[in-house]
Amino acid sequence: MYKTILILLCAFMCLLEPQATQAAPADAFAVRPELVENNKVPRPNYKAYRGNSRHKAKKLGVFKRWSLRRKAMRKRKRKMNPVIRVEKPTRNK
């Protein structure tokens, strides 16, 4: 489908006359420099506003809570303190 449309578009472009597709002269779209210098537009920022980073986190869903609990249990199991075994004390006479 896309190949067919592309081929048709290319064929249509070949049929156009070169004079009709030429660009206009440069002075047709001349812009005065004083208008460009005075028109300062701030750069857009597309990040969402976070309210000065003081937003409350939303409540976790049940599956997220369960996965975090399993992760904590695994971490606790791995972090268990090793048991140090020693022999019975002997009395010196």
pLDDT, position 24: 64
Cα–Cα nearest to 21, from 33, 13, 30: 13
pLDDT at position 82 is: 74
Enclosing H/E stretch for 22:
none
Query: Considering the entire predicted model, what is its pTM?
Result: 0.30
Give the residue carrying structure tokens 């939303």: 58
Q: Is the pLDDT of residue 15 over 70?
A: yes
Mean pLDDT, range 83-88, rounded to an integer:
84
Distance CA 51, CA 27 (A): 47
Question: Using one digit for the tens of pLDDT, what is the confidence trace for 19-78?
Answer: 655 666 656 556 565 655 566 777 777 777 766 666 677 889 999 999 999 999 999 888
What the block records as the tokens of 53 is 């980073």
Distance CA(39)–CA(32), nearest Å, equals: 11
CB 66 within 8 A of CB 74: no
Q: What pLDDT does 74 receive?
A: 92
Q: Strand runs (DSSP E) across 1-93, as ranges?
A: none
Residue 50: the pLDDT is 67
